[in-house]
Amino acid sequence: MTSRSSDAAAIARAIEAAHLIHLASHENPDGDAVGSMLGLRLILQGLGKTVHVALPHPVPARYAFLAGADAVRSDLPSQRPDLAIALDCDGPERLAHLREALEAAPLLADVDHHPGQDAFGDLRYVDLSAPATAAQVVAIAGELGALLTPAAATSLYCGLITDTGGFRFANTSPTALRLGAALVEAGADAEDIARRIFTQRPLPAALLEGRALCSLRRALDGGVLIASLGLPDFEASQARPEDTEGIIDSFRHVNGAQVAVLLKESEPGTWQVSLRAREADVRAVAVRFGGGGHELAAGCTIEGNLAQVESRIVEAIAAILREAEASA
């Protein structure tokens, strides 16, 4: 693989040669998916490009304040673009139904910071040291010689702080902190963005968190904490799937727990699994079920009833912990 600066430069050269560009990110979008995509959209529009953006699932309400959020569609136009860019995807499968449209483009670029992802696209800018894909978008902007507007800086700061947990996670490097400062200097309002993302939330989200915390139980002699939210929980609290964001952070640091698990039923018999850890490689757990993510934060989807799903995920975590002990 070429150097990271060369990768960013290659993406920039492809952008310069294109007029119509399609951007997309992953299903169940988080702040980095939305922020990096909308930030790049604003940068490209500033260069006179025609840009269409799409996500497999709607923009979560907490990110609706970002400029261009109302332009995000569930499908891309049938018109063939000059260039398509997939952002923060951790493999093409996470593009869901958008994958076919992006792969039909004459040139597809993959911009991501997840480890061990499936290779795809004609151009790849994969930087495992980047704290967020938003940081890679800033690097691309630099190669383009594009100045960041306050609106673009706001979107990219949103991506940065969500993937670093408000500068609390292990990926909060000096680079991440310097980038945060640069984005604030470019016009991002750090206090307002943090309030919108981490503090402000609707009542259904608060009620849903209460139900999740009431469901907490231990496994593997207390080494694993598990919470679950079935479809009745969403109905009772009138909450949406996006209202689960941040819930796992409410219990991931309980004393004695090595791994935190949140099971969310998206449809009857289908469970979205969120995994968080202090040291254990939960990405290795997620990969066993076709998922992915980062070493300390990952996710996957498992089908079955709650007891079956919980048993399978605990068994996989136990295996990963045993392997870690054996190699220590």
Neighbours of 221 (CB within 10 A): 7
- Whether 114 and 219 map to the same domain: the answer is no
Assign residue 272 the CATH number of its domain. Answer: 3.10.310.30
DSSP E strand stretches across the chain: 20-25, 50-54, 83-87, 108-112, 123-126, 217-219, 224-229, 259-267, 270-277, 292-293, 297-303
Give the pLDDT band of residue 3 (cuts 50, 70, 90): very low
By residue range, what is the domain housing residue 234? 203-327
Domain boundary among 198, 228, 254: 198
Provide the 10 A C-beta neighbour count for residue 147. 11
**Where does a domain end: 166, 198, 230?**
198
| Together in a domain, 96 and 220 | no
pLDDT at 2 over 50: no
Q: What percent of the chain has pLDDT over 70?
A: 97
Distance CA 121, CA 125 (A): 10
Q: What pLDDT score does 117 carry? A: 61
Instruction: Render pLDDT for 148-196 as a digit per residue (tens, 0 to 9).
Output: 999 999 999 999 999 999 998 889 999 999 999 999 999 999 999 999 9
Question: Are residues 88 and 181 located together in one domain of the fold?
Answer: yes
Percent of the chain with pLDDT over 90: 85
Model pLDDT, residue 119:
67
pLDDT at 327: 79
What is the bridge-based pairing of β-strands 224-229 and 217-219? antiparallel
Q: Which of 155, 178, 198 is the last residue of a domain?
A: 198
